[in-house]
Structure 1
Amino acid sequence: MVIFKTWVSVISMFSIMAFAGEKVDQTLDAAADSIVQIEHTAGSAEIIGWDKEMVSVSGELGDDTEEFIFKRNGKSIEIKIEVKQKKSWGAWNSSDVDGDKLVIYVPKGSRVEYNTTNADLRIDNILGSSDIEIVNGDIQASNLAGRIQLESVNGEINAKGIQGDVYAQAVNGDIKIEHVSGKLIQVGSVNGDIRVTTKAEDIAVETVNGDIEFEMAQVASVDAQTVNGDIDLSMALRSGAVVKANSVGGKITLSLPVDTAAKFDLEAHAGGSIRNTLSDDKAQEAKYGPREWLEFTTGEPNATVDVTTVHGRIVIAKK
């Protein structure tokens, strides 16, 4: 038997003791700037911002669902799907898990918090803020604003039309972001490539085994690090900008406008090399040992660029 409980007051709630594969189609009134917290274990979800002051949940619950919770307390909306306990963690990682298939509409000014173990997510048109945490699954995000945090342990992150400060992290997965406005972007991956276009002033990016490619506008600070990947940065420097890039075995390429005014400090250890085409300055080689270095300035320097590699290659090029 399906049990519905509803209170029409400050607290409104649907609580359904659910059967396997049960259909759900419920709505609650909500504030334009609601805090929407969503938690489920497996399947897929679409979260879409709309102009209505209500939250709608529709779709199909997974086979292991025990209870569907949908409640409002003030400006807070909770959507949670309780499931039967598995005997082992690996059971949730199986591709055979028949999870939820959810479509969720929320007021576009909402702050969305989403957490899942084994699900793919598509999220669009959320202008409050978005905090996404996934263990196994891909994230497709578009037209987000506010503070944006995207994390997937095993999955790809693909985001476009992003406005606001961005924090994106993956362990095993590529990251691709189109960042159209915002002051800050921080991106990291252990085993995956990172491709970003951004107008942010402050940039931090790090990989272990993966390439980094950033197309930037005018920057105030850049910190780029990799162990076994290549770094390719294209940018212009604001007055007072500080740029740092380092690698162990990867190639580092910095592309800059010909009128860049900066002090450069480049160093390659243990067989690395340096090539500079921004100016006529050439690298020097150590008398003893396979080391190269190059210090030079362009224009009336008002920014600093420090680049180091252990046994990779450094290239400073004209943009």
Structure 2
Amino acid sequence: MNINLSQFVGRLIIGSSLLITSTLMTSTQGFAAQSVDKEMTVSANPQIELKVQRGKVEIIGWDKDLISVTGQLDELSEGFIFEQKGNQIHIEDKLPSSYRGNNKDGSNLVIKLPKKLMLEADGVSADYKVEMLSGKIEVALVSGNLEAEEIEGEIKLYTVSGNIESESLNGKIELETVSGDIKDKDAVGKAQYRLVSGEFESKNNQVTKLSIDQVSGDIEGNFIAAEKIKLVTVSGDIKISLGDKVSKASFDTVSGDIEVKFTNMPNLAFEVDGGPGGDITNSLTDDKPLKSKYSSRESIQFKTGDAKGRFSINTISGNIELK
């Protein structure tokens, strides 16, 4: 067969193009996200360990002894782990030990679990939404937002860099973020909130025992059912509403204004130290604050009702208002 130079070059170009196209398709397929659709029947009150490093995860409780996982795996996934050993179930979208690049979508999974369970979930750069569960629930993230709704039991939600939004939590509650805000609504039980840099807001809070530790940021909320309160903050304003059930409360702050409003007259003995800076305004009784003889420091002690409980405020700088 006689082939001239132009025909040879043409065939070479076509062959090279096909090779390049095939290589690109293979490369693209290697990094394409894979679908997952799996189910597993489990015994009552299972113990579940969940790990999804990147992406979005929605966890929903339902009235079935069945685990369902649907959605897309991370494009960097090295395999999906879905295994059971006794009453323990391990669910993981496994990624390389180290990775870098512009890949950012991560996993996108919907996981349905039995309502009553023990759950430990963690992620690196992922957003989690958890709802309708009961039991011991712990979710820990490095970088990502957390949403939680209708959870009952022992609840621990942590994120280093991200916001936490929760609604209708009931039980022993711990919410913590280092760099982010916490917005909580309709909580019931005992609650501890910790923030380093961020705002705290709570609405219609019905917890009886309340603890807030915050370094920098404002605190705002109504805690009508609160009986025992401990609040520690360094910098930021505090504006809260309380009911008449308070039996013991202590506020320790460095700087920032404090406003405490009671919906009903409490039964408390008040001890308020305004520090060297700031003013004290008492609208609960006719008692007036006293100034130190040798400085502008203000303090006040007074009682309301039968004074069965104790309420103390200590601050260095900032205005204090009780009403």
Secondary structure of 2:78's partner?
Answer: strand
**Are positions 1:282 and 2:288 aligned together?**
yes
Q: Aligned runs of 1:64-213 on 2, under 5 Å?
A: 64-86=76-98, 91=100, 96-182=103-189, 184-197=190-203, 198-213=205-220
- TM-score w.r.t. length of structure 2: 0.86
Look up the equivalent residue of 1:218 and give its one-letter code: A
Q: Residues 95 and 312 (structure 1 numbering): CA distance in 2 closer, same or farther, change over 3 Å?
A: farther
Name the CA distance, whole Å, in 2 between partners of 1:302 and 1:170: 35
Quote how far apart the aligned CAs of 1:290 are: 2.1
Count of residues in Structure 1 that have an aligned counterpart in Structure 2: 293
Name the CA distance, whole Å, in 2 between partners of 1:123 and 1:180: 15
| Structure 1 ranges of 4+ moved more than 3 A | none
The equivalent of 2:268 in structure 1 is: 262
The equivalent of 1:303 in structure 2 is: 309
Contact 2:152–2:171 under 8 Å retained in 1: yes
Secondary structure of 2:295's partner?
Answer: coil
Q: Percent of aligned positions with the same letter in both sequences?
A: 30
Name the CA distance, whole Å, in 1 between partners of 2:250 and 2:64: 46
The equivalent of 2:21 in structure 1 is: none
Contact 1:130–1:148 under 8 Å retained in 2: yes
The equivalent of 2:55 in structure 1 is: 43
More helix by percentage: 2
Contact 1:50–1:107 under 8 Å retained in 2: yes
Name the CA distance, whole Å, in 2 between partners of 1:204 and 1:168: 11
**Stretch moving more, 121-130 or 161-170:** 121-130
Q: Residues 258 and 81 (structure 1 numbering): CA distance in 2 closer, same or farther, change over 3 Å?
A: closer
Q: Residues 298 and 95 (structure 1 numbering): CA distance in 2 closer, same or farther, change over 3 Å?
A: farther
Contact 1:39–1:114 under 8 Å retained in 2: yes
Contact 2:232–2:252 under 8 Å retained in 1: yes
Name the CA distance, whole Å, in 2 between partners of 1:310 and 1:51: 53
Secondary structure of 1:238's partner?
Answer: coil
Quote how far apart the aligned CAs of 1:163 are: 1.3
Contact 1:28–1:54 under 8 Å retained in 2: yes
Question: Which structure has the bigger radius of gyration?
Answer: 2
Q: Which runs of 5+ in 1 are unaligned?
A: 1-17
**Are positions 1:294 and 2:300 aligned together?**
yes
Quote how far apart the aligned CAs of 1:32 are: 3.1
Superimposed CA distance per residue, residues 42-101 of structure 1 (whole angstroms, 9 cap, x where no aligned partner): 1110100111111011111112111211011222211012211326xxx4xx87423111
Quote how far apart the aligned CAs of 1:295 are: 0.6
Contact 1:111–1:126 under 8 Å retained in 2: no
Q: Aligned runs of 1:184-263 on 2, under 5 Å?
A: 184-197=190-203, 198-238=205-245, 241-263=247-269
Name the CA distance, whole Å, in 2 between partners of 1:117 and 1:132: 11
- TM-score w.r.t. length of structure 1: 0.87
The equivalent of 2:24 in structure 1 is: none
Name the CA distance, whole Å, in 1 between partners of 2:230 and 2:221: 12
Quote how far apart the aligned CAs of 1:170 are: 0.4
